[in-house]
Amino acid sequence: MDKLSAEGVNCFHAIFGVYTSLRKLFDHEKKMAMALYGANTPNASIKAEREVLCKKSGRPRINTNNFLGLSLEYWMDHRHIIPKKPRSELSEKASGKMAVDSVDGSDTTEDDPETNKIYSLLIDVESSPSSLYQPIRVSNEWIAPEIEKPADADPDSILFSRSNLAWRDPEPTYIPTTNSGSGDAMDLESQPGRLPNIRFIAKFNPPIVVPLSVAVTIHQSVSNEIPNEAIRPTTFTGLALRPGETDPGSTGLGGESTQELQSETTVLVVNKDGLKQNRKHTNSLYIPKTEWARAIETLPFHHPRQLIDILPLLRQYAFLTSLLQDTFGPSRVPSPPDPSMPAPDTKDPTLPSLQIDLNLTYAQPNPRFSIYIPHPRSTRLSDPSNPLSAILATPQSQDPTSMTSDSEFLGSAHPPITLTVDVLHNADLVVSEQNVVDVGVGELVTKGLLGGGEVDEEKRRKIQRFGVALDRCGDLGVWAEWVVREVEKGEAS
């Protein structure tokens, strides 16, 4: 930024001008969120701030998370979990060695980096010919003082019809005229009205993995073509879940071949008597169709509204990535048994392991996954060769309605618990298919819960409660145990 500023336009002022406008927007949206929570709500300020971070226009910050400059935070893992630790301890961990964020006065010192992983856009500048891409502008007036426009909104939003923000377009910023005394009319450096050869750029921290079609859409939204070298045979599995392994896309295993990942996790379970025990989960992830993906690392832009407009889309894949990384990431790969280790003490009461199966559809319009959990009254499916796993490994298993006759091959009158979750914009979760709540339509797996009138409001609320629970905990293993407990409670009543 120092070097580019020497051209005649102060890049630091340009970046801080963007921050000033984004901060106005953040303060406005936080004030509205605070009004909804109410002054008597515990941790109301922190909850309101995280709501804006994850569901509205993000949280701008200066000099945080070991980065010098401006970052726009747009997603936080486990945002509902507010660690009960002393403020001084959290502040030291969250801000690190660069604790100079004294300009925004937000409640960010309550963030725990070990629990609340942050996804952000680092706003910077880079050299770029002004004839090819709109250059930077130095202004504090990217948004009007009233922040929002009347309710008729702006129909020109490229990705979403959601923008009612009163954005402004500042005048171009020109490089001051230099007086070289050469008198040469062809000396372009001395001509008045020259635009700077500098543009804004957003750097993704961490890079966000999205379907290739989504990557193309994001680049087009800022009038930029996706680089040719970016179109490589890479997949979500190879980029996000198992980056140290050979990407399935590079091995020629495209088309309809099913990708399968195995993992093991340990989940703390609290039974009805309050006893805490650990349960091992044996997890299987099936992706029946290979879909190309791309990790976006940088994105040029010329107006902050372009970044705000794509945040709902980014949150879909930030949430999905973190959710699946926690269960199927490299650290979760099962290790072969060590023959030198003593056998477990069978006298010590332990919970039986639980087989969790997931089916993932990754591409647009929205990513979705189906989870299959053994019914608490059926035989535990802890054997990797069980019939359910075999069926899920086939492409036709994309349709959860094929599970309606599970009792035929499970040897039980209780088919597995099945829930299908759609991850919408802003990482809003919708349970679109399920077999937990009896809706009285004679189907084990219920479809069409969003549009049809066949499910009454009370049952619809009970169904969507499962999506709310996943949003609250943000952990597949914890969620699966909670679902099993809810099923047990429902049968007991």
The predicted-structure confidence for 293-320, as pLDDT tens digits, reads as follows: 999 999 999 999 999 999 999 999 999 9
* Between 22 and 346, residue with greater pLDDT: 22
Q: How confident is the model at residue 423 (pLDDT cuts 50, 70, 90)?
A: very high
Q: How confident is the model at residue 337 (pLDDT cuts 50, 70, 90)?
A: low
424, two tokens: 């919408």
Q: How confident is the model at residue 457 (pLDDT cuts 50, 70, 90)?
A: confident
What's the rounded Cα separation, in Å, for the pair 376 and 488? 7
pLDDT tens digits, 66-77: 778 999 999 999
Is 408's pLDDT higher than 60? no
What's the rounded Cα separation, in Å, for the pair 38 and 389? 48
Is 444's pLDDT higher than 60? no
Is 412's pLDDT higher than 90? no
CB 421, CB 464: distance < 8 Å: no
Q: H-helix or E-strand containing 309?
A: helix 304-328
**What is residue 304's predicted lDDT score, i.e. its pLDDT?**
97
Is 352's pLDDT higher than 70? yes
DSSP secondary structure code for residue 241 in this structure: I
pLDDT tens digits, 25-37: 999 999 999 999 8
Window from 70-84, 149-163, 271-285, 411-425 with minimum mean pLDDT: 149-163
Averaged pLDDT, 99-111: 49
Q: What share of the chain is helix, strand, coil (3-state, %, to 5)?
A: 35, 25, 45
Averaged pLDDT, 391-414: 43
* Between 194 and 456, residue with greater pLDDT: 194
**What is residue 139's predicted lDDT score, i.e. its pLDDT?**
95
**What is residue 15's predicted lDDT score, i.e. its pLDDT?**
96
Is 429's pLDDT higher than 90? yes
Count Cα atoms within 13 angstroms, Cβ side, for 123. 30
pLDDT tens digits, 278-289: 999 999 999 988
Averaged pLDDT, 111-130: 90
**What is residue 335's predicted lDDT score, i.e. its pLDDT?**
67
* Between 108 and 332, residue with greater pLDDT: 332
**What is residue 244's predicted lDDT score, i.e. its pLDDT?**
85
125, two tokens: 């500048």
**What is residue 333's predicted lDDT score, i.e. its pLDDT?**
81
**What is residue 79's predicted lDDT score, i.e. its pLDDT?**
94
Angle CA 132–138–142, to nearest 5:
95
**What is residue 158's predicted lDDT score, i.e. its pLDDT?**
42
CB 23, CB 148: distance < 8 Å: no
Strand partners, 298: 203
pLDDT tens digits, 254-267: 556 788 999 999 99
Q: For the residues of 358-415, what is the DSSP string, one character each?
A: EEEE-SSS--EEEEEE--TTSPP---TT-HHHHHHTSGGGG-GGGGGGHHHHHTSSSP
Q: How confident is the model at residue 342 (pLDDT cuts 50, 70, 90)?
A: low
**What is residue 405's predicted lDDT score, i.e. its pLDDT?**
38
Relative orientation angle of helices 304-328 and 212-221, to the nearest 10 degrees: 160
Is 357's pLDDT higher than 80? yes
**What is residue 311's predicted lDDT score, i.e. its pLDDT?**
97
What's the rounded Cα separation, in Å, for the pair 434 and 446? 6
CB 371, CB 355: distance < 8 Å: no
Q: Is the peptide bond before 233 cis (omega within 30 degrees of 0)?
A: no
**What is residue 157's predicted lDDT score, i.e. its pLDDT?**
44
**What is residue 249's predicted lDDT score, i.e. its pLDDT?**
82
* Between 413 and 135, residue with greater pLDDT: 135
pLDDT tens digits, 213-239: 999 999 999 988 877 765 678 899 999
Give the rounded percent of residues in the chain with a pLDDT score beyond 70.
73
Burial of residue 233 (CB within 10 Å: 0-12, 13-18, 19+) is: middle
Window from 66-75, 180-189, 402-411 with minimum mean pLDDT: 402-411
Q: Where are the beta strands (DSSP E) in 217-336?
A: 259-270, 276-287, 293-301
Give the rounded percent of residues in the chain with a pLDDT score beyond 90.
52
Is 19's pLDDT higher than 70? yes
Mean of per-residue pLDDT scores for the chain:
80
What's the rounded Cα separation, in Å, for the pair 212 and 249? 13
Place of tokens 């140290």: 244
Angle CA 168–118–221, to nearest 5:
40
Q: How confident is the model at residue 410 (pLDDT cuts 50, 70, 90)?
A: very low
Averaged pLDDT, 444-451: 46
**What is residue 191's predicted lDDT score, i.e. its pLDDT?**
55
Q: How confident is the model at residue 421 (pLDDT cuts 50, 70, 90)?
A: very high
